[in-house]
Structure 1
Amino acid sequence: MTISPVWSWEGRVTSELLLILDTSTTAGSVALCRGEHLLAEIVVDSLANHSDQLLLHVQQLLTEQQCTLAEVAAFAVIDGPGSFTGLRVGVTAAKGLARACHRPLFGISSLHLLASALPYVTLPVCAFLDARKKEIYAATFSTATGSPCLLDGPCVLPPQQFLAAMPVPALFVGSGAVLYRDLIVERFGPLAIFAPGPLHTPRASSTAPLVLQRFQSGESGDPGLLLPRYIRPSDAEIAQQK
C-alpha cells in the first residue's frame, strides 16, 4: 500500500503576504494583503471576465506592489456558494498558484465573506446571496466579537422560508438582501436593518484577518483537499436524476 506524504509547506515562511481570490459572484475581486493590512485590491463586475482576467489581475497587483509570487505566504479563495462557473475558475486558479509555490491554500465561504465586512455588530448578521430560481444562499452569523461565528446555515431555499425562521431584529447584507428588500421589510418592518450600500458587494480583502489567523495557527491548507462548495446540485446533475 502506498501512503501519500502529508502536505507540508516548503521552507519556513516569515512574511505575512496573503493573496485572496473571489470569483464566486459577478463582483469578483483579488486582494493582496500584508497580514490584516490591505496593500491593493482589484474589483470587477463581470462574471464573464473572471476566467480571462483573473491571473492578469494577480500579476498586476504583484507588479504594482513590487512583490513576486514566491513572496506570497498563503493563498485563499472564496469557495462557495455562488456561481458554479465562477467557483470553478477561482478554485482552479488558486489551487494552481498554491501548488506551484508550495504554499497553503484556505477556502472561505462567500457568506462568511459578506459577514466579515461587518465586525462587532451586536445584532445577528444575515448574509443573503441571490441564488436565482427565486432562491437565496443564506447564513446567519454573530460578529459581536469581531470575527463571524456561524449561527445558522448555510443553505439554499426560498427567501420566505428562511425569513420565517429568522431571529429579529437582524442586519441584512448581500445581493439577496438587495433583491428581496421589500419582502424583508414586509416581514420585519422597522426591525429589518440593512448594511450600507457598498457592503452588499463582497470584497476579498474582508477575509484577511481570518486567513491570517488560519495561516498563523499552522493549519495545513492542503490545496488538494479544497473543493467548491456548491450547496445545491447543478442543472446537469438534476437532469441526470430525472
Structure 2
Amino acid sequence: MLTLFLDTSAAAVGIALTRDGNLLAESLVGGGGRLQNSRLLPELERLLTLCGLRPVDIGLFACSTGPGSFTGIRTAVATVQGLALATGAPCIGISSLAHLAMNLPHAALPVCPLLDARKNEVYAGLYRCTELPEPLREDRAVAPELLLDSLEGPTLFLGDGACRYRDLIVTRRGERALFAPDCHHLPRPAAGALLAETMFLKQGGTAPELLLPSYLRLSEAELSRQQKI
C-alpha cells in the first residue's frame, strides 16, 4: 500500500510517502503558522514528482488531526479530504501527540509528549511506547502545573511544550523528569505514516467528510461568539 502522510500541526510542514511501511521520501520544513498554507502544496508536488507518482497512485491519505496549531490542523485535514474525494482513496487521521510519541519507540518509561498550546497551557498525552504508542490517558489541553502534579513516577518528556516548560518540569518533577534529545522534539513524518498505516490495517479508514480536526479546546472565534451570547 502506498501511503501519503501530512503533518502541519506543529512548527513545521511534514510530508512522507511510504510503501508497505518502507520510506520512499520524507520532507520536514521548519516555519509553521501562516507559511504552512503556502508551503504544503508545493512541497507535496515536489515529493510526488521526485518519486514519479501522482495523487491517483496513492492508496491511503493520512494526516495528524491535532491537537496543535488550529490553522495548521485545518490545512492538513482539508488537503487530505480533497485528495481522498478526488481520487476515491481512503483516508485516516491520527493524534498529533501519538505521532510525536512515535519518536521514542521501545521507551522503558511512560512518554509524555507536550505541545505548546499558548495561554499558559500545553496539549499533553501520556503513552506506553513498547512499540507503537498506547494511550495511558486521553489527550488534553491543561495547565502544565496541573499535568505535572498528576504524574506518577519517572516520565520521559518531549515536544516544544517540554522545551518551553523545561525549568518548570524539572522544578516540579526533579529526578523523575527525563527529556528526549533535541532532535526528537519535532514529529517525524515517516513515523506518522507508519502509525497511520498500522491503524488503517487494524480498523479501516474514515470517510473524507468524517475526517475532523481535534482541537481539544475552543478557537478564539468560538470563544468570542460564546462571550456575546
The TM tier, using the shorter chain, reads over 0.9
Match of 1:226 in 2: 211
The 8 Å contact of residues 35 and 208 in structure 1, kept in 2 or not, is answered as: no
Match of 2:190 in 1: 205
Match of 1:49 in 2: 35
Q: Identity across aligned pairs (percent)?
A: 42
Output one character per residue of 1:29-87: Cα deviation in whole Å (capped at 9) or x when no partner.
11111122221111111222211121111111111111222111101011001111111
Separation (CA, whole Å) in 2 of partners of 1:214 and 1:192: 30
Distance change in 2, residues 1:177/1:224 (3 Å): same
What is the CA distance between 1:210 and its match in structure 2?
2.1
Q: Specify the SS of the correspondent of 1:209.
A: helix
What is the CA distance between 1:179 and its match in structure 2?
0.5
The 8 Å contact of residues 32 and 39 in structure 1, kept in 2 or not, is answered as: yes
What is the CA distance between 1:218 and its match in structure 2?
6.0
- Please say if 1:88 is aligned against 2:83: no
The 8 Å contact of residues 7 and 14 in structure 2, kept in 1 or not, is answered as: yes
Separation (CA, whole Å) in 1 of partners of 2:148 and 2:16: 33
The 8 Å contact of residues 148 and 169 in structure 2, kept in 1 or not, is answered as: yes
What TM-score, normalized to structure 2?
0.95
- Please say if 1:184 is aligned against 2:163: no
Separation (CA, whole Å) in 1 of partners of 2:205 and 2:144: 36
Unaligned runs of 5+ in 1: 1-15
Matched letter for residue 73 of structure 2: L
Larger Rg: 1
Q: How many residues align?
A: 226
What is the CA distance between 1:214 and its match in structure 2?
2.8
The 8 Å contact of residues 18 and 33 in structure 1, kept in 2 or not, is answered as: yes
Separation (CA, whole Å) in 1 of partners of 2:13 and 2:184: 14
Greater displacement, 202-211 / 23-32: 202-211
What is the CA distance between 1:107 and its match in structure 2?
0.5
Match of 1:33 in 2: 18
Output one character per residue of 1:189-228: Cα deviation in whole Å (capped at 9) or x when no partner.
2221111111101122112222222333461321111111
What TM-score, normalized to structure 1?
0.90
Separation (CA, whole Å) in 1 of partners of 2:202 and 2:138: 25
Alignment of 1:126-205 (within 5 A): 126-144=112-130, 146-205=131-190
Separation (CA, whole Å) in 2 of partners of 1:70 and 1:235: 37
The 8 Å contact of residues 105 and 221 in structure 1, kept in 2 or not, is answered as: yes
Alignment of 1:106-125 (within 5 A): 106-125=92-111
The 8 Å contact of residues 13 and 39 in structure 2, kept in 1 or not, is answered as: no
Q: Specify the SS of the correspondent of 2:187.
A: coil
Q: Specify the SS of the correspondent of 1:28.
A: strand
